[in-house]
Structure 1
Amino acid sequence: MTNLVTSEAAHVDPSNLPVIDHLDFLTRVLLPGEATGGSFSVVEQRARLGCMTPRHLHGRESETFIVLDGALEGWCEGDTTLVQAGTVLHLPAGREHAFRVASGSAHFYNVISPAGFETFFPATGRPVVQTFDGELPVPGPVPPEAAAVLQGVLASLGCELLGMPPFPVG
């Protein structure tokens, strides 16, 4: 069982964290579950228009997106919501959902509760040698061999891919 209480304060200097290209999103795990007693994690991401996730379902985690710059479009079981800088989008556990960058670029935090899913990003992304605020990757399709790896890691985390993104491409 995860200990949901931690007695240690946590301070994070994001400039010291590794930067990962995860499906063309620049990603860094700001606060892993170990720092919160497993109660939540915080992931920071930046991406260009055209970056999106497939439809998927988390068996236990909710995702809350805090948009710092740009806009995201969230999709949850057929309903879409546009969220812009200064607003928040919550996608609950147990509900099919997806999201995409809906502006030229976007910068946002993803608060994942409970923690654990943040391990997905370093497990399936690739480290890059650049600063987090550097050039954004150009979005492209996920190669078939990468999709198989993604599905394997997702299954181990109690998450499943349910289909193509529900958004228009481009």
Structure 2
Amino acid sequence: MTMAYLAQPEQQQKLEWLDGGTFSVLLDEDATEGKLTVGRFDVARGEAPPFHLHTREDEVFLLLKGSALVWSGEEEHELREGGIVYLPRNVPHSYRITSDRADLLMIATPGGIEGMFRHAGRDLRTPRPEGFEIPRALLEEAAELYGGIVLGPPR
């Protein structure tokens, strides 16, 4: 049997994301023949993406460390360390980190959503522009390019 793909931590792309957090691209659509994307967030208290939905992929979040509130439609749930949530495509959702830090694993299928993070985020191998932030217009543009729809502000 041959291993189809292997990347050590130093080979994985790391992007600056919302509120100074990071998103690491662990597996992208190229590595998985389009089947899935696996990413990992390292984020601080209060990090929250806008309320949104995905038209192309289903998502799974596994909270490795920390705590968060998760919204699925109008339902609010607490997600504790070790908790997992499945968010089918076309279901509006968001989350807000409630612990000091959180380590969150994301799996999306099919692959391709990493393009959104690459479009709006900043590769940590490049110099950081002073005052870097991801404006809402860029986030909405990135979401739209990759089948996402921003429905409202963070919760």
Provide TM-score, normalisation by structure 1: 0.79
Alignment correspondent of 1:28: 24
Identity of aligned residues (%): 29
Provide the aligned length of Structure 1 versus Structure 2.
147
SS at match of 1:74: strand
Amino acid at match of 2:145: S
Amino acid at match of 1:155: E
**Which residue of 49, 56, 68 corresponds with 1:72?**
68
Whole-angstrom distance in 2 between the partners of 1:65 and 1:73: 12
Matches within 5 A, 1:78-93: 78-93=74-89
Could you tell me which runs of 5 or more consecutive residues in structure 2 were left unpaired when the two chains were aligned.
Answer: 126-132
SS at match of 2:31: helix
C-alpha root-mean-square deviation of aligned residues, in Å? 1.9
Shift of 1:79: 0.7
Amino acid at match of 1:36: T
Whole-angstrom distance in 2 between the partners of 1:70 and 1:116: 27
Could you tell me which runs of 5 or more consecutive residues in structure 1 were left unpaired when the two chains were aligned.
Answer: 1-6, 130-141
**Which residue of 37, 44, 54 corresponds with 1:41?**
37
Matches within 5 A, 1:89-168: 89-128=85-124, 146-166=135-155
Runs of 4+ in 1 over 3 A off after TM superposition: none
1:12 matched to 2:7: yes
Amino acid at match of 2:83: T
Provide TM-score, normalisation by structure 2: 0.86
Deviations 1:123-142 (A, max 9, x none): 1111235xxxxxxxxxxxx6
Shift of 1:47: 0.6
Residues 71, 84 of structure 1: 8 Å contact kept: yes
Alignment correspondent of 2:129: none
